[in-house]
Chain A
Amino acid sequence: MCHGAPIWHPGPPSAPWARRMVRVADSADSARWRFCGRVGQHSDHRVAAMSALLGELPVLMRHEHGSLQGTSAVSWTATAAAADSASSGVSWSPAPLPATLPPDPAVIAERHDACSLVVGESGEARLHAGISGAVPIYADLTSNTTSAVHFCTHVDPLARTSGTPLRPDWDAWAHILAMGAPLAGRTTFAGIRRLPPWGRLTVPPGGRPDLAEDGWPWLDIDGGGEGSLDAVRDALVDTVGALAGRGPLTSLLSGGWDSRILTTLAANATAGEQTAWTTSSDTGMVLEELVAAQVAERLGIRHRVIQPHRSDFAADLDHFARSVDYQTSFHVWLVSLARTLADVKGIEGIEGTVLDGLGGGVFVGGAFPDDDSSESLLAKRFDRMARYLKGAGQILHPRVIEQIRERSRSDFEPLATPLADHPYGSTFTAYLARTLPGISLAPFGLVARSAPIATPFLNDRVVRAALAIRPDKHADGSLYAPLLRPLAPELAELPTAADLTPARRAHRRRVSSIEAAEHFRSLLTREPIRRLLAPGLAEADLSRWQSRLDNTGFQHLIRGLATLALWLERYDGLLDDASTDTLLESVG
């Protein structure tokens, strides 16, 4: 790699992406896990350009109808006898995969939640997303009338190598502000989409690309009530055991149930040879750290507590935003820990696959149940997902609130309406509107930069077993203790951080500290963000900003606006229209 010189790419000098190229030292993404490629027939210029932006990746597949460059993957071949026609495929995942895989992308997606690129003997090419959809894969659909679609594990290389004008997706930004993340597969750039769970992007030879979003197997689980906790436990034990068989494990340990269960399983599978990592989730308490320490002590494993530094807040916010391609600001507090994981890798013998509890709360813990209000089901689910809009007039201009509410509602309804009668409708609504587009980027956008990462609660067998138990049995996390009891009786009785948390929070949060408030105020009072603010907020003194940041809802809106400010700064000069005036228009 040539540092300090303009990036080289093998495309023609007049290639439309040339003006967007920046110096390698400024832009090369050193994320541990990164892939880019094309589905369909095309030259490899753009794939090579994306690869250069990602730090020159090895070629994993080069075929007339599909190509892939990436960090590491498993290749396989299906013979005509084993499939409809002979095909060759490459599969990848942020978690370690077995050395050999069954030659079928659907089976691979189901068993390993891995993505695959497959080219058949006929020339038909297919990109198959994982079953959970939590592992991000983005595709540039702006020019889908051509013979190929380009894809990448990160949005930035797709944007910088796009042949069409870069335009903000203001619907996505409305969702980010109102709900925490973009709905309907949108990203911050118009036309660049995240593949849905089980999404299949197919390009037949000589034909046009087709993105199939139907048939997601998890929606077929009926919650009939025949399931048992033993089946959930067995599936978790097998999932973590299989990961342990492929290398060492380490875990992110909070004061809650999901990480406690995973850490226990990892301790059992590795005979205690693991390290658990905890950081402050910036709730104004330190009970997460204390309860995590109790769990680690009782399991007899190493425990490290990483304290985020106040002085690093601005850098952490920027690092997080880049890592998640500016799509969410959930879990900024995790940055110090993710950076530490990268730093210690190989130094303390701690390298291993990180276990993250993503999905446990929704599929086992019964999070986001419907309330008893008299509102319509759709309205109450929308209000729950868009709860940050409550009192938003303290932070946002009234017309911005109208805009982001309406834009969010119009993409929420097509997502939520088909789920209205599903026995796990509230669960899947929360999963598709929050977990998938937002929370999943903490493990798979941020932590995956530092280490291999796995999310056992999203394993197909675990989800199926959990959803086979009647929905009401999940209420209030009541499955957790009996799930853990046979594995670690003492830990099943140990109160969680949430159990111990008093009404009054004792500590000043880092996000509302003087240092953070100054940074937020500086970002938000610059144009064009300033005009989106509630009247008077830009001129308010620092103590008012701190007070607003102490409120979770207001803080969320401020973080969203800061993410937009950083995004506009990052792509300054590359966007065809960076005006935020669209969000100030009256809703007609």
Chain B
Amino acid sequence: MSTTRWLRRPQSKAELRIASIGEVDAPVAEFVGRDLLADPPGTAAETLDLVLVPGASLGGPWRLAGEVIEAFIECERRGVPTLLLAGTAADLETPVAAVCRAVAADDPVVVEHARSRFGADRVHGLPPVAGRRPLLRRRAARRWRDVIVAGTG
């Protein structure tokens, strides 16, 4: 799986403020304002709508250590949702995965594993083919789920 299929600009006009914990690939990076590991949250985290956490197989963090912990603590304190982008089932097993609020994956096997572990309501299965309609629509334009759409590939 490539992160290039993860995001596209939400159809709503609202600008979602998205950050990441760990580096995400282009072109997804276009939607991500900053990496909290390189640019610690400070007071700005209060205005974030979503934090993406690339799974270990996508080059993201797997250990809970140092600035990774600090970034997650800031997200928790400010109520910012963290979304694990899981490329493989092993991405679900890491200490970092255990502290993410929700999971998104496009591999049906990973989605099934994730639902067993996290619960159906916390897992977003994405269509594997690019160019589909948004997977999850919400009336509230600022809801972070608006951004989870299938891809630009």
Question: Chain A interface (Cβ within 8 Å of chain B)?
Answer: 280, 285-287, 289-291, 293-294, 297, 303-307, 309-311, 500, 502, 504, 506-508, 510, 513-515
Give 13 CB contacts A-B under 8 Å.
Answer: A286-B76, A287-B73, A287-B76, A290-B64, A290-B99, A297-B64, A311-B116, A311-B119, A502-B76, A502-B77, A502-B79, A506-B101, A508-B122
* Measured CA separation A513–B81 after assembly (Å): 17
Please, which residues of chain A bring their CB within 8 A of the CB of B116? 309-311
0 or 1 for each of B69-91: is its CB under 8 Å from A? (1 = yes): 10011001111010000000000
Beyond A297-B65, A305-B64, whether A507 also contacts B101 by CB under 8 A is yes
Please, which residues of chain B bring their CB within 8 A of the CB of A306? 98
Q: What is the CB-to-nearest-CB distance from A504 to chain B, in angstroms, rounded to a whole number?
A: 6
* Measured CA separation A289–B65 after assembly (Å): 11
Question: Chain B interface (Cβ within 8 Å of chain A)?
Answer: 64-66, 69, 72-73, 76-79, 81, 95, 97-99, 101, 115-122
Which one of B78, B95, B120 has the highest number of Cβ atoms from chain A below 10 Å of its Cβ? Answer: B95
A500's partner among B76, B99, B119 (CB-CB below 8 A) is B76
Kindly report which residue of chain A lies nearest to residue B119, judged by CB atoms.
A310
Beyond A294-B69, A506-B76, A506-B79, whether A305 also contacts B95 by CB under 8 A is yes
* Measured CA separation A566–B69 after assembly (Å): 39
B66's partner among A286, A289, A297, A500 (CB-CB below 8 A) is A297
Question: Is B73 within 8 A of A290, CB to CB?
Answer: yes
Q: What is the CB-to-nearest-CB distance from B120 to chain A, in angstroms, rounded to a whole number?
A: 6
Question: Is B117 within 8 A of A310, CB to CB?
Answer: yes
Please, which residues of chain B bring their CB within 8 A of the CB of A297? 64-66, 69
* Measured CA separation A506–B76 after assembly (Å): 7
Kindly report which residue of chain B lies nearest to residue A288, judged by CB atoms.
B99
Please, which residues of chain B bring their CB within 8 A of the CB of A289? 64, 95, 98-99
Question: Is B99 within 8 A of A286, CB to CB?
Answer: yes
Please, which residues of chain A bring their CB within 8 A of the CB of B76? 285-287, 290, 500, 502, 506
Q: What is the CB-to-nearest-CB distance from B121 to chain A, in angstroms, rounded to a whole number?
A: 6
A280's partner among B79, B98, B115 (CB-CB below 8 A) is B98
Q: What is the CB-to-nearest-CB distance from A283 to chain B, in angstroms, rounded to a whole number?
A: 11
Question: Is B98 within 8 A of A513, CB to CB?
Answer: no
Question: Is B119 within 8 A of A510, CB to CB?
Answer: yes
Count: A-B pairs, CB below 8 Å? 76
Question: Is A514 within 8 A of B120, CB to CB?
Answer: yes
Kindly report which residue of chain A lies nearest to residue B123, judged by CB atoms.
A310
Please, which residues of chain B bring their CB within 8 A of the CB of A310? 115-120
Which one of A286, A306, A500 has the highest number of Cβ atoms from chain B below 10 Å of its Cβ? Answer: A286
Please, which residues of chain A bring their CB within 8 A of the CB of B117? 307, 309-311
Please, which residues of chain A bring their CB within 8 A of the CB of B115? 310-311
A508's partner among B78, B97, B119 (CB-CB below 8 A) is B119
Please, which residues of chain A bring their CB within 8 A of the CB of B101? 286, 506-507
* Measured CA separation A510–B116 after assembly (Å): 12
Q: What is the CB-to-nearest-CB distance from B48 to chain A, in angstroms, rounded to a whole number?
A: 13
* Measured CA separation A502–B79 after assembly (Å): 8
Which 7 pairs from chain A and chain B are nearest by CB?
A310-B119, A293-B64, A307-B98, A286-B99, A311-B116, A305-B95, A513-B119
Beyond A500-B76, A504-B79, A506-B76, whether A293 also contacts B95 by CB under 8 A is yes
Q: What is the CB-to-nearest-CB distance from A336 to chain B, in angstroms, rounded to a whole number?
A: 11
* Measured CA separation A508–B102 after assembly (Å): 10
Please, which residues of chain A bring their CB within 8 A of the CB of B98? 280, 286, 289, 305-307
Please, which residues of chain A bring their CB within 8 A of the CB of B69? 290, 293-294, 297
Please, which residues of chain A bring their CB within 8 A of the CB of B118? 310
Question: Is A286 within 8 A of B79, CB to CB?
Answer: no
* Measured CA separation A304–B97 after assembly (Å): 13
Please, which residues of chain A bring their CB within 8 A of the CB of B65? 293, 297
* Measured CA separation A515–B117 after assembly (Å): 11
* Measured CA separation A310–B118 after assembly (Å): 6
Please, which residues of chain A bring their CB within 8 A of the CB of B73? 287, 290-291, 500
Please, which residues of chain B bring their CB within 8 A of the CB of A293? 64-65, 69, 95
Q: What is the CB-to-nearest-CB distance from B50 to chain A, in angstroms, rounded to a whole number?
A: 12
Kindly report which residue of chain A lies nearest to residue B72, judged by CB atoms.
A290
Kindly report which residue of chain A lies nearest to residue B99, judged by CB atoms.
A286
Please, which residues of chain B bring their CB within 8 A of the CB of A294? 69
Q: What is the CB-to-nearest-CB distance from B84 to chain A, in angstroms, rounded to a whole number?
A: 12
Kindly report which residue of chain A lies nearest to residue B75, judged by CB atoms.
A506
Question: Is A500 within 8 A of B77, CB to CB?
Answer: yes
Kindly report which residue of chain A lies nearest to residue B100, judged by CB atoms.
A286
* Measured CA separation A294–B79 after assembly (Å): 20
Question: Is B97 within 8 A of A307, CB to CB?
Answer: yes
* Measured CA separation A307–B119 after assembly (Å): 12
Q: What is the CB-to-nearest-CB distance from A291 to chain B, in angstroms, rounded to a whole number?
A: 8
Beyond the given pairs A289-B99, A306-B98, A311-B117, 9 more chain A to chain B contacts, judged by CB atoms under 8 angstroms and listed by A's residue number, are A290-B69, A293-B64, A297-B65, A297-B66, A309-B116, A309-B117, A311-B115, A506-B79, A514-B120
Question: Is A514 within 8 A of B72, CB to CB?
Answer: no
* Measured CA separation A297–B78 after assembly (Å): 23
* Measured CA separation A582–B119 after assembly (Å): 38
* Measured CA separation A471–B99 after assembly (Å): 37
Q: What is the CB-to-nearest-CB distance from A300 to chain B, in angstroms, rounded to a whole number?
A: 11
* Measured CA separation A306–B93 after assembly (Å): 9
* Measured CA separation A46–B73 after assembly (Å): 55
Please, which residues of chain A bring their CB within 8 A of the CB of B81? 506
* Measured CA separation A290–B72 after assembly (Å): 8
Please, which residues of chain B bring their CB within 8 A of the CB of A287? 73, 76
* Measured CA separation A306–B81 after assembly (Å): 21
Which one of B65, B73, B95, B98 has the highest number of Cβ atoms from chain A below 10 Å of its Cβ? Answer: B98
* Measured CA separation A294–B69 after assembly (Å): 7
Please, which residues of chain B bring their CB within 8 A of the CB of A500? 73, 76-77
* Measured CA separation A515–B119 after assembly (Å): 7
